[in-house]
Chains A and B, each alone.
Chain A
């Protein structure tokens, strides 16, 4: 110890600490990109910044956002879930079939669909944890099973590949208040899914950064053996994450079903990679242990804005996929750069 008075600031911290600190936040890259895309479409198209336009892309982003946030938590915990997209279809179909075909009470139908979704999520976690197989493969299998079952079972029971007559089911309007309603705000027709999206992002962020469970999610994704050694209940954490993702699938399934009163047997297929892309664009590492829920929500916002922006600009829709691929590559490169800047050695 020296005799000099204790300095308020530590000379070993670079004065440019604020920039580095900002860069350390996983969601910063995505926020900058979102701002750029927002500005671009606001200038380039007439419809983008109108109340109706804003409501449209916000709604689009909200459905992807809810899933992206759940998938981000799972990815931070070191796992993937490719069955997340098909799950949206599965839960919608379950509610549709048991209410329209078998006359089951609509509230009970919601509970049944949720229970099945959670059970599938738990099964994914169980197989991954007990076998040590990569979740990529295990949930790829689940994805194909769900995709096949969705189509085959719907065809057997209804004779078609979609659910009809949903709005005639008793209690439909009561449930619609929670999942399919909308309200007026500043001239925008705001759908309730946007509220769900914001609430879930806030909740997920709080859990990640301010609770023990959040600490454990980062830990099991970052270094699973160390987590075990210090007594983190690894199995419970992973189980919770897979069930959360499945639960989010159920929520989005309900939001879609009660918004449009119908569901196709192919609903959700092909979306699983978009959720992962949103999470990665939002700063999640593919290797786990790092990422943010807000980032994933911003990633979904980018996707929603681009999806609708391309429509407003009357471009060929196929550009969306090319754009998405470019965004993903850019995000991965930015993540790499940011991690090096933040000085993460291993």
Chain B
């Protein structure tokens, strides 16, 4: 997928002036952003900036109360995660939805197992599932020793990647990653960033939520900066530098004031 093609198609997912209120609390308002084919949208913000609310709207866990949400150019309001999933919008949560003691291939297909035969005699297509798991992981650049090992024995980065590969195999067009690197060390975080790039190169849209500009900047195409429930802007990579981004996130003036305060007299 080339970038020329990508820009011609309508964005897979787009929000315009979107907002969400919980009773009298304004959790999010006036946020606009989009993610297209083969594009990585990074959503950055400090704690309490509205990142979780933003994911919940995109993934269908909560319906938005203001603005518009468009999938493939068509306006939608998601009533459940299932509706989002049916449109190919998959969310990989921080806990990854895996069962540590079960083999990798059983985890890969959990809830959507392949079976052969009919009625009470239908049984798992073990060979097929093992093979597909191995193939799909290989496509993500993960060369697994043994798909029969418990998924709990994989490293944090590998587990994250299995979860992404699973979402892709089951028809995801956009993958929403909820802070995939926050619990990981530098090296493991690098592994996950590589898989995000891999997913992008395979033509997927990626929404990458993080509070770390150093993770976001190398892999992102667009950056949505959130602060206290509002948007600080939606930038292309060419429009913003990592320093500016860090400054905006922390609230430039506040950071300057803090630096002044902390400086030795």
A10 and B124 within 8 A (CB): no
- Chain B 40-67 near chain A by CB (<8 Å), digits 1 or 0: 0000000000000000000000000000
A289 and B102 within 8 A (CB): yes
Closest Cβ–Cβ distance, residue A327 to chain B (whole Å): 24
Closest Cβ–Cβ distance, residue A14 to chain B (whole Å): 10
Interface stretch among A177-185, A229-237, A300-308, A329-337? Answer: A229-237
Closest Cβ–Cβ distance, residue B59 to chain A (whole Å): 11
Partner of B97 from A206, A215, A229, A290 at Cβ < 8 Å:
A229
Closest Cβ–Cβ distance, residue A336 to chain B (whole Å): 14
B124 and A227 within 8 A (CB): no
Q: Which residue of A lies closest to B125 (CB)?
A: A210
Closest Cβ–Cβ distance, residue B128 to chain A (whole Å): 13
When distances are taken between beta carbons in the complex, the residues of chain B under 8 Å from A64 are none
CB interface residues, B 55-113, toward A, < 8 Å: 93, 95-102, 106, 109-113
Q: Which residue of B lies closest to A289 (CB)?
A: B101
Tell me whether B9 is interfacial, beta carbon within 8 Å. no
A211 and B145 within 8 A (CB): no
Tell me whether B198 is interfacial, beta carbon within 8 Å. no
With known contacts A229-B93, A230-B111, A345–B98 Cβ distance under 8 A: no
Q: How many angstroms between the C-alpha atoms of A289 and B98 in the bound complex?
A: 12
B152 and A345 within 8 A (CB): yes
Tell me whether A225 is interfacial, beta carbon within 8 Å. yes
Q: How many angstroms between the C-alpha atoms of A326 and B100 in the bound complex?
A: 30
B123 and A223 within 8 A (CB): no
Max count, chain A CB within 10 A of own CB: residue among B96, B101, B126, B146: B101
Tell me whether A222 is interfacial, beta carbon within 8 Å. yes
B101 and A226 within 8 A (CB): no
Closest Cβ–Cβ distance, residue A20 to chain B (whole Å): 10
Partner of A344 from B112, B113, B152 at Cβ < 8 Å:
B152
A219 and B110 within 8 A (CB): yes
Closest Cβ–Cβ distance, residue B134 to chain A (whole Å): 11
When distances are taken between beta carbons in the complex, the residues of chain A under 8 Å from B93 are 229
A211 and B123 within 8 A (CB): yes
When distances are taken between beta carbons in the complex, the residues of chain B under 8 Å from A345 are 100, 152-153
Q: How many angstroms between the C-alpha atoms of A222 and B103 in the bound complex?
A: 12
A13 and B145 within 8 A (CB): yes
Tell me whether A130 is interfacial, beta carbon within 8 Å. no
Max count, chain B CB within 10 A of own CB: residue among A227, A289, A345: A345
Tell me whether B213 is interfacial, beta carbon within 8 Å. no
Closest Cβ–Cβ distance, residue B108 to chain A (whole Å): 10
Tell me whether A157 is interfacial, beta carbon within 8 Å. no
- Additional A-B contact list (6), CB under 8 Å, known A218-B106, A226-B98, A343-B149: A13-B146, A206-B123, A219-B106, A223-B99, A232-B110, A345-B100
Minimum-distance CB pairs A-B, first 6: A230-B111, A222-B99, A229-B97, A231-B111, A223-B99, A226-B97
Q: List 15 A-B contacts (CB under 8 A).
A: A13-B146, A210-B124, A211-B124, A212-B124, A215-B110, A215-B124, A218-B101, A222-B101, A223-B100, A226-B97, A229-B93, A230-B111, A232-B110, A343-B149, A345-B100
